Amino acid sequence: MTIKHNDFVNEWLQDQENQNIYLRDSLLEFSEDGDYTEFFRSLEQVIKARTSVKQFAESIGMQRTSLVDLLHGRTKAPTIATINKILDGLGYEIKIQLKSA
């Protein structure tokens, strides 16, 4: 029996710790290559693992269409405030740490 990749990811993301790992790794990739496409794809998958995009958008005070456009790269690069709003809605925060010399 085979399982589709998306089905596997959706099942794997039902676990909170897997969500944490997935988003952390995706954010690290984004910080290295500057391409937020995969990071927003990861956000969308975690959102869908928890609830619907519509319900999530409502919970953070965004229009569903605006959130979908952002997650699918149909809008210009989002502001840090928008990224923080989405992460906060998922229960995460970005921390900045100085590199040791």
Q: Report whether pLDDT(101) > 80.
A: no
Q: Report whether pLDDT(20) > 80.
A: yes
Residue 101 in any domain: the answer is: no
The parent domain of residue 13 ranges over 5-90
Residue 73 in any domain: the answer is: yes
How many domains, the chain? 1
The mean per-residue pLDDT over the stretch 72-95 comes to 88
What is the rounded CA–CA span in Å between residue 43 and residue 46?
A: 5
Residue 97 in any domain: the answer is: no
Residue 22 in any domain: the answer is: yes
Q: How confident is the model at residue 93 (pLDDT cuts 50, 70, 90)?
A: confident
The answer to whether 43 and 86 have CB atoms below 8 angstroms apart is yes
54-82 tens-digit pLDDT: 999 999 999 999 999 999 988 877 888 99
The mean per-residue pLDDT over the stretch 48-53 comes to 94
Q: Which two tokens stand for residue 47?
A: 């959102």
Residue 27 in any domain: the answer is: yes
pTM for this structure?
A: 0.85
What is the rounded CA–CA span in Å between residue 41 and residue 100?
A: 32
